[in-house]
Amino acid sequence: MHRATPLPLSLAVFSAAFFAEALPAQEAQTPPSAAAEGSVMKPRFLPGKIYTFAAETGVALAGPGEDVSAAARRFVMNHESRFLTANRDGGEPGVRVTASTEKLVLEINAGAKQVRYDSSDPATKDSALAMHFEGATRRSVVMDLDPDGKVVGSTEVGGGGPATPLPGLPQFGPDQLKQLVVSVLQGFPKDRVAPGQEWTQKGKRSLGELGEIDFEINYRYVRDEAHENADCALIEYTGGIKGDVAVTGVQPGAGQGKMGFEGRQMTGRFYFDKALGIPRFSEQTLNVNASVPNPDRLQSGTIQVPMRQRIVIKLLSLRDA
């Protein structure tokens, strides 16, 4: 009988990292005459502020013959991060961002086994998975961004905590914080746009140690709309991704392989606060067909795993430092 597929934690990190730094060939698809009537949406971090973001990533994996909407194998990660901003040293243009993890909650339902980790709850810290992630709250990253939001320098800070009992398994650390910072500034055209106009971004997206993916995303400036009492631009998008990422099993000693995947059903939207220059809310849903290494060591080849992920990022607060 075919064994149930264990939840590869790499998929969860891949989900969180999907908003990673892009290397796009960006194309604004806007007639010049119409563009002149629009505005430039330039995202930015203001120096001297503290931004608090909450990100929730949900992943569902279906077994053989199982519908992904009713899948029993699920992963949920809630991550609260703090971005402290300041002017760069020496009067250099741009901004310095110190990103740190305030809270991390993981819930994994791998069928017959459930695991929960809450960085603020000592009662959840006795599992191997919890020990693996415990160090995340002790690490931060200091990043220098130029006026275009490009990372021109970064330094990891902190460390310590218990040694991981799951070596080789991806962790939520400075790389993911860096990707989260950069993600807030992405998805915007360089040209002026007005409601009803569209643009496309395509290229490669780095997932750090997991590899990289090819993507193409079509954006549409739907309308101006109030969100949380702020004047926002509502942006919607559709697109697809394709590539290979590294896969490591949750079980100690599980080997690493490559997961081939293709997702053509990606939809999302975000509200861009035009006064603050930052998205207040974003959500994305992606359906993927993944080719995962067979978990049965007695069998070679891959198995097909339908996967659905949903990512929601919210700006919780913005205050003076």
List pLDDT tens digits, range 133-155.
877 777 889 999 999 888 899 99
pTM listed for this prediction: 0.80
Q: How confident is residue 160, by pLDDT bands cut at 50, 70 and 90?
A: low
| Highest mean pLDDT pick, 47-56, 102-111, 305-314 | 47-56
Is beta strand 73-86 parallel, antiparallel or unpaired with respect to 139-145? Answer: unpaired
Q: Across the chain, where does the E strand assignment appear?
A: 22-29, 49-61, 73-86, 95-109, 114-118, 139-145, 151-158, 198-206, 211-227, 230-248, 256-273, 278-293, 302-320
List pLDDT tens digits, range 65-87.
677 666 667 888 899 999 999 99
CATH 2.30.230 fits 9-320, yes or no: yes
CA distance 16 to 59: 10
Close Cβ partners of 122 (under 8 Å, ≥ 6 residues apart): none
The values of phi and psi at residue 111, to 5°, are: 90, -100
**Candidate from 28-32, 50-54, 167-171, 195-199 with smallest mean pLDDT:** 28-32
Half-sphere exposure of 171 (CA within 13 A, CB side): 23
Q: What percent of the chain has pLDDT over 90?
A: 34
**Candidate from 152-166, 228-242, 253-267, 294-308 with smallest mean pLDDT:** 253-267
Is beta strand 139-145 parallel, antiparallel or unpaired with respect to 198-206? Answer: unpaired
CA distance 175 to 156: 9
